[in-house]
Amino acid sequence: MTGMSAEEVGIILLSLRVAFVSVLFSLPVAIGVAHVLARADFPGKTLVDAFVHLPLVLPPVVVGFALLVLFGKQGPIGSWLNEWFGIVFAFRWTGAALASAIMGFPLMVRAIRLSLDAIDPRLETAAGTLGASRAWVFASITLPLALPGIVTGALLSFARALGEFGATITFVSNIPGETETLPLAIYTLTQVPGGDAQALRLSAISVVLSVVALVASEWLTRRAHGQTRDDRR
Amino acid sequence: MIDVDFEQSRGDFVLRAKFSTEAPVVGLFGRSGAGKTSLVNAIAGVTSPRRGHIRIDGVTLFDSAQRIDVPMQKRRVGYVFQEALLFPHLTVGANLSYGLRLRPASTRYIEPGRVIDVLGLRALVDRKPATLSGGERQRVAIGRALLAQPRLLLLDEPLASLDVPRRTEILDYVERLRDEFHVPIVYVSHSVPEITRLADTVVILSEGECLAAGAVDDVMGRLDLKPHTGRYEAGAVIEAMVAAQDEQFQLTTLQFAGGELTVPRVDAKAGERVRARVRARDVSLATARPEGLSILNVLHARIVAIAVETGAVVDLELAVGEARLLARVTRRSCAELGLREGQEVFALIKAVSFDQRSTGYA
């Protein structure tokens, strides 16, 4: 990897930044949604569940287009965010992070929900009778016990973000230095004559990054499991 | 003082709980499905009744008329579940102090060091719940509930998930904390020996109704409650005092309102109060004082009541001095001896019929 050009380094750093920011901001939301889906019972729960899983089954291009319509400069949410907070998603790396967050969201919610479902709710009741408020029960019992799922969900979403292509290119286009992440760069290189060698190099880097993320996920999950083994016999 | 009078429904099941007692230990007795856990859940604040009230030592925890429903984290009702439900990610020490840290200093009256000593937890403090045995877990759960400084301790069948030797061990611990910490206890069980050994007052629950509430010997000795207290468990509880210890034969003589009882050695000093349970099927009857008998306990008794029965066995209620006993004999023996109410008889009880689980500190 010694011969990486400044351009290549820039692409890798941008990809990592997009993936990292997308996980950072979507994680609290995913924990909240997973908690509601795992614990609460309300009419329309199936609908919410289906909506959360939509990015998993829709063509990524459709998700990207929906984001463009909603979060574009003229879009209902995009124009509002720009006006009040000066936040712009369209054709910015933040938009790439948003697209990655949406695409990875179902994976994150699923993993977290699975580990929440495995927690005996009576542990939370026990904490309540010992004097813990709902918020403290969540922070001191639920969250630590769900940690393996949270770690898995975050890393799955991170890996998904590194590979995000369709939604990103549709929403924020392919702007070198701003929105051109690894997969987009590889795609561009395959479209120009003589770009194959560089595309191969970037692909190799992509494989390495994904493998590292997976191994880290395995290791962290096992560590978290060791700390939170169930006390049932 | 526990004062409970409420109604609660969950689906088809309606629970009407009504009893009031000053007793330090209340036994809540009933078959599975009788509503025992629903009742303690309501006291702990896990569920809310439809109407009525729950008061403990004059503090109202729930009152539908006054629209009071104290949330469970503010009730200070300690709850020990059937399964210990220890927090698996915390050490034993962190489990123990979980509730303690949440209580303001002004409400603390139970000292952590004493709880750890009384329950024998000192060596376990650094361990994780997954490495503990069932009995150890239950002891930690009891300690955790106690350290949350409860005004009332609910024990919901704490022995149900344990094997028999562990049960006796935990019973000893519960007995000790009853005497050490003076926290009122509601002990839920479907086991007569457990209830009679620990409780002063018993509440009988059946299909969501409180059938009876009162002193253990009164309620458990009542023939009309026999279908609920159980056919094979029928018996009576005798409050007694240790009169003498026979070290040579490892026997203890107990003095009670109706005379003396000889039982296998009880680990208590002379003058200490103990409670012994006599099962009806361990009591035989004779119309004259028998001679040449291995049975050590021969008590002069009077038949108070004979249950009307059509099966093979019949239960008789006996007065032995001030105390009451139940005897179970075959209907044939009853007829052949011509037993009738008011008759003077001799009640024979084998000393070996008293077991460890049924004899303990009062």
CB spacing of B44 vs A129 below 8 angstroms = yes
Residue B289: Cβ-neighbour burial (10 angstroms; 0-12, 13-18, 19+): exposed
Contact present, A180 and A169 (Cβ < 8 Å)? no
Choose from B82, B83, B87 for mutation: most chain A CBs within 10 A.
B87
Tell me how close the Cα of A230 comes to any Cα of chain B, in angstroms: 6
Nearest Cβ partner for B72 among A120, A128, A140: A128
* pLDDT 10s digits, B223-238: 677 777 764 467 787 8
Q: Work out the pLDDT band at B356, boundaries 50, 70, 90.
A: low
- CA atoms of B318 and B296, how far apart (whole Å): 18
Q: Read off the tokens for B171.
A: 């019973």
pTM of the full structure:
0.76
Query: Over its length of 233 residues, how does chain A's per-residue pLDDT go in tens digits?
Result: 456 788 889 999 999 999 999 999 999 999 999 999 998 888 889 999 999 999 999 999 999 999 999 998 888 898 888 888 888 888 899 999 999 999 999 999 999 999 999 999 999 999 999 999 999 999 999 999 999 899 989 998 999 999 999 999 999 989 888 999 999 999 999 998 988 889 999 999 999 988 888 888 788 877 766 655 443 33
Choose from A120, A125, A129, A228 for mutation: most chain B CBs within 10 A.
A129
CB spacing of B73 vs A128 below 8 angstroms = yes
Tell me how close the Cα of A160 comes to any Cα of chain B, in angstroms: 30
Does B168 have pLDDT greater than 90?
Answer: no
CB spacing of B85 vs A120 below 8 angstroms = yes
Does B98 have pLDDT greater than 80?
Answer: yes
Nearest Cβ partner for B87 among A123, A125, A131: A123
Choose from A125, A130, A225, A229 for mutation: most chain B CBs within 10 A.
A130
CA distances from B95 to A183, B120, B128, B224, B254 (A): 49, 15, 9, 45, 42
CB spacing of A133 vs B73 below 8 angstroms = yes
- CA atoms of A162 and B147, how far apart (whole Å): 50
| Residue in B closest to A225 by C-alpha | B89
- CA atoms of B270 and B253, how far apart (whole Å): 9
CB spacing of A130 vs B145 below 8 angstroms = yes
Q: Read off the tokens for B111.
A: 């000292």
List residues in chain A touching B: CB distance below 8 A.
120, 122-123, 125-133, 136, 140-141, 144-145, 227-233
Question: Is the ipTM beyond the 0.95 threshold?
Answer: no
- CA atoms of B40 and B331, how far apart (whole Å): 40
Nearest Cβ partner for B144 among A130, A145, A230: A130
Phi, psi angles (nearest 5°) of residue B142: -65, -45
Q: Work out the pLDDT band at B359, boundaries 50, 70, 90.
A: low
Q: Residue A100's CB: how many other CB atoms inside 10 A?
A: 28
Q: Residue B335's CB: how many other CB atoms inside 10 A?
A: 10
The pLDDT value given to residue A177 = 86
Strand partners, B324: B319
- CA atoms of B34 and A200, how far apart (whole Å): 71
